[in-house]
Amino acid sequence: GESVGLHLPTLSVQEGDNSIINCAYSNSASDYFIWYKQESGKGPQFIIDIRSNMDKRQGQRVTVLLNKTVKHLSLQIAATQPGDSAVYFCAETPTGANSKLTFGKGITLSVRP
Amino acid sequence: GAGVSQSPSNKVTEKGKDVELRCDPISGHTALYWYRQSLGQGLEFLIYFQGNSAPDKSGLPSDRFSAERTGGSVSTLTIQRTQQEDSAVYLCASSLGWGGLDTQYFGPGTRLTVL
């Protein structure tokens, strides 16, 4: 698999490979983190979330890792499929901030057949 | 069940005109949010409604922008005297509103183009 920070706008992976999308956040008060997937012409779709009292959470083919020490969040997609092609956003919110989310700029995942 | 719906899906208007964008949240969700997404950018928070509390308007970019939520359900975002820089996709999201840390579900958005 390949990994890239949000400062690089596009990640291209081969179908079947694992994908790793990274996100750095700056607000140390943030304690709830979410990954969204956005397909062309659609609204963001919730993928997986994690709270700050955890460092790893797994879903179906996806895993989110949280490293609070370095304020880093990553999304791992196993066996990437063409349907995974989309823009991925990380989002964060601190406790008590009425769930107002701060989004990263997003990265495009392109899956090569 | 039904998700968040928004209307219209696309809106083209002339500079200086007013526009209204509508959001129907998921039934039972007490929290409603508006975000703006400019081309190739992330989402920018605009306004947040929670139950009967005063809305958090801290993200509204100017006084030309306003929003209301009637009866704790449907919300309307109004942009007065539209400018070309208002062109963007306007996204609405809703959540259960429990304790401030719950998942937001998004609608498909309204694409606004100001000519």
Of A32, A44, A104, the CB nearest to B101: A32
- Quick one: tokens of B83? 């400018």
Name the band, by pLDDT with cuts 50, 70 and 90, for residue A104. Answer: confident
- With contact defined as beta carbons under 8 Å apart, do A8 and A107 qualify? yes
Calpha distance B14→B11 (Å, rounded): 10
User: To which residue do tokens 């490293």 refer?
Assistant: A67
> What are φ and ψ of residue A39, in 5° steps?
-90, 160
**What does the pLDDT look like over B52-107, one tens digit per residue?**
888 999 999 999 999 999 887 999 999 999 999 999 999 999 988 765 557 889 99
Contacts of B104 in chain A (CB under 8 A): 34, 46, 99, 101
Interchain pair A97, B102: CB under 8 A: no
- Quick one: tokens of A54? 């955890």
Mutate to test the interface with B, among A100, A102, A103, A107 (most CBs of B within 10 A): A100
Q: Nearest C-alpha of chain A: how many angstroms from B111?
A: 9
Interchain pair B101, A99: CB under 8 A: yes
Calpha distance A65→A22 (Å, rounded): 9
Give yes or no for residue A4 having a pLDDT over 60.
Answer: no
Q: How far is CA A64 from CA A74, A105, B79, B104, in A?
A: 6, 18, 37, 18
Q: What angle do CA B8, B31, B108 make, to 5 degrees?
A: 30
